[in-house]
Structure 1
Amino acid sequence: MGNKYTKRYSAEYRRDAIGLVRSSGRTVTEVARELGVSPESLRNWVRRDQADRGEGAPGELTSAEREELKHLRRQNREQQQTIEILKKATAFFVKENDR
């Protein structure tokens, strides 16, 4: 996920960084600069945290909802593929029986 230059931060590190933004009264940019994190990354973490707390923008999904949506989309794709295979198999057997 992400390009090879993207640093991976532990969940604990992200939680601590979000906590610093929430409690310090400083801007995301200031905290990001202090921690050596990109402001965009920290802003995304804070936004996701707000959504998970139910404080996000109207209609914004929580992390759990995003995961569920990803899972349901994958499941839907697999079921569509299964349906296509079954249609082809059915057509094949109908043709075989007509001989």
Structure 2
Amino acid sequence: MQERQRRSFTEEYKRQAAELVVSSGRSITSVGKELGLRDSVLRRWVEKLRQEPAGAGSGGAAPHDASDADAGGPGCRDRPAARGE
């Protein structure tokens, strides 16, 4: 059986995905399906965003967070982005 490869995301991508949930008023499930992310991963990112003090700017890439290994989407670093993404 083939082993699932871990994926990692930039802090910018995580923030943008979480902001999409918060600003659009859509559910985590809806946004997660659109982005190819598991609910649990996106929920963790949204909770982190909501806990940040107001005005906290988005930073650049941060060290890999192994807890995000099962997520997916265009911000994933383990595969090239498809054309048009």
- More relative contact order in 1 or in 2 (CA 8 Å, sep 6+)? 2
TM-score, with structure 1 as normaliser = 0.46
For residue 53 of structure 1, what is the aligned residue in structure 2? 53
What does residue 32 of structure 1 align with?
32
> Residue deviations 1:48-93, cap 9 Å, x none?
1111237xxxxxxxxxxxxxxxxxxxxxxxxxxxxxxxxxxxxxxx
Q: Where does the alignment leave 5 or more consecutive residues of structure 2 unmatched?
A: 55-85
Larger radius of gyration: 1
Alignment of 1:1-99 (within 5 A): 5-53=5-53
* Percentage of matched positions with identical amino acids: 37
How many angstroms apart in 1 are the aligned matches of 2:53 and 2:29?
22
Question: After TM superposition, what 4+ stretches of structure 1 lie above 2 angstroms from structure 2?
Answer: none
Output the TM-score relative to the length of structure 2: 0.53
Give the secondary-structure state (helix, strand or coil) at the position aligned to 1:6: coil
Stretches of structure 1 lacking an aligned partner (at least 5 in a row): 55-99
User: Which structure shows the bigger proportion of residues in helix conformation?
Assistant: 1
How far apart, in 2, do the equivalents of 1:53 and 1:21 lie?
A: 18
Q: CA RMSD in A?
A: 1.7
